[in-house]
Chain A
Amino acid sequence: MSLLAVHDLAVSRGGLRTVEGISFALDPGQALILRGANGIGKTTLLRTIAGLQQPVAGGIVMEDDLVAYAAHADGLKAALTVAENLDFWARVFGGGSVAQALAAMDLTALAARPASALSAGQKRRLGLARLLVTGRPLWVLDEPTVSLDTASVARFAQVVRAHLGQGGAALIATHIDLAIPEAQVLDLTPFRARPGTAPARLPSGFNEAFA
């Protein structure tokens, strides 16, 4: 039984279809890396799978409450400390241990520091530590390695591999080469929506027409 199955999915941003005809499945323990040029629709695809917007065509089959989503913005409150930020998300998601997540992303020494005093890379590490406290199996990550240094990227790859080893799955949009050998790669370039060749050029519904 797949965690996530996507059939012939088309997504749109600002009323224009970006990518279409995408199908894949993710089983527990698998990772899929999305590649493609800027603007091809990686973020839109990930937001659609995370449930933040509706697909314009095709279907997404998965159970409710599986996704932990991490985007460009880390969702941190500058006035709260590192531990308080993480503790909040742990309570909201009812997930795992804050101390373990801090240790996994090498943030234990910074736990009492306000998030406003963190560097960009440290903020990003805190944003990624949030994934661990959600306790959700499917990680949907949009450019997770932005502003991370080489050591942190390696550490993050280890965290993802450990997550896969525990039966989790990950869907990652990235441009760099993450050291995750078991990951498959899906290049979105062939799925770019082209005017004229699409099966139906009329908007498929009210939402697409006025999105």
Chain B
Amino acid sequence: MIALLRRDLRLATRAGGGFGLGVAFFLILCTLVPFGIGPDRGALAPVAPGILWVGALLSCLLSLDRIFALDHEDGSLDLLATAPLPLEGAVAVKALAHWITTGLPLILAAPVFGVLLQLPGRAMPWLLASLLIGTPALSMLGAFGAAITVGLRRGGMLLSLLVLPLYIPTLIFGAEITRRGAEGAGTATPLLFLAGITLAVMALIPFAAAAALRVNLR
């Protein structure tokens, strides 16, 4: 499992691996919004939590189809399926690798982009916390969508349609934590809900995604 994680991280950071693509997209999105809405603090600050979360979600989506599609193309997925590693474990590890290469850079960059969007300073810790708890669920759900669409030509479009509705609960609670953090209100309830969603997703998705992969390999 460690070997698979190391290989996926190494592949992502080498040429053509798409590392940094998500963050670059996030940056462009967060720079475009003030151009569209205007740089005025009164207009930007209320929408900043939502924009930041929608941006994080879309950036995550960019690299999802790589999780299994590349391994399917070159035959590695067949070989992984015959390896001693359980397919559920492989799914979990590949989702983790996706989170490290996509989710983690987003979290680290988010405070800077928060400044661009006039997000109040006291909301920053809550933005970080909500992303830290929420983005693992985005990678896991994405792995499930990627497992369903593996082997389809131009599966990326279908993948977005399948996965985005599943992101709604994470988006609602993630943005709510940041919004309440900006207002100085209590954040315990949405934080617990978000953590609950992430834990449930992490517990269930590896099995669902592995089952989808087995059907697609047949």
A156 on interface, CB distance cutoff 8 Å: no
CA A52 to CA B77, docked complex, whole Å: 10
A76 on interface, CB distance cutoff 8 Å: yes
CA A93 to CA B4, docked complex, whole Å: 11
CB closest chain-B residue, reference A66: B82
Contacts of B4 in A (CB 8 A): 88, 92
Contacts of B7 in A (CB 8 A): 77, 80, 84, 88
CB closest chain-B residue, reference A77: B11
Q: B7-21, CB under 8 A of A: which get 1 and which 0?
A: 100110011110000
CA A74 to CA B79, docked complex, whole Å: 9
CA A172 to CA B43, docked complex, whole Å: 69
B5 → chain A closest CB, angstroms? 11
In the bound complex, do residue A52 and residue B82 qualify as a contact, i.e. CB atoms below 8 Å apart? Answer: yes
Assess A69 versus B3: contact at CB under 8 Å? Given A52-B218, A79-B16, A80-B10: no
Contacts of B3 in A (CB 8 A): 88, 91-92
- In A30-74, which residues have CB < 8 Å from any B CB? 47, 50-54, 65, 67-69, 71-74
Contacts of A68 in B (CB 8 A): 82
A127 → chain B closest CB, angstroms? 8
CB closest chain-A residue, reference B218: A53
Contacts of A72 in B (CB 8 A): 75
In the bound complex, do residue A76 and residue B11 qualify as a contact, i.e. CB atoms below 8 Å apart? Answer: no
B181 → chain A closest CB, angstroms? 40
In the bound complex, do residue A79 and residue B74 qualify as a contact, i.e. CB atoms below 8 Å apart? Answer: no
A75 on interface, CB distance cutoff 8 Å: yes
B161 on interface, CB distance cutoff 8 Å: no
CA A69 to CA B78, docked complex, whole Å: 8
CA A33 to CA B145, docked complex, whole Å: 39
Contacts of B78 in A (CB 8 A): 47, 50, 52, 69, 71, 73, 75
Contacts of B11 in A (CB 8 A): 77, 79-80
In the bound complex, do residue B74 and residue A65 qualify as a contact, i.e. CB atoms below 8 Å apart? Answer: no
In the bound complex, do residue A53 and residue B217 qualify as a contact, i.e. CB atoms below 8 Å apart? Answer: yes
CB closest chain-A residue, reference B14: A79
Assess A65 versus B84: contact at CB under 8 Å? Given A79-B17, A92-B3: yes
What 19 new A-B contacts, CB under 8 Å, besides A51-B81, A52-B82? A52-B78, A54-B218, A67-B82, A69-B79, A73-B74, A73-B75, A77-B76, A79-B11, A79-B16, A80-B10, A80-B11, A84-B10, A89-B79, A91-B2, A91-B3, A92-B83, A92-B85, A93-B84, A94-B84
Residues of B within 8 A of A (CB): 2-4, 7, 10-11, 14-17, 73-76, 78-85, 217-218
Interface pairs (27), CB distance under 8 Å: A47-B78, A52-B82, A52-B218, A53-B218, A54-B218, A67-B82, A68-B82, A69-B79, A72-B75, A73-B73, A73-B78, A75-B74, A75-B75, A75-B76, A75-B78, A76-B74, A76-B76, A79-B11, A79-B14, A79-B17, A80-B14, A84-B7, A89-B79, A92-B80, A93-B83, A93-B84, A130-B79
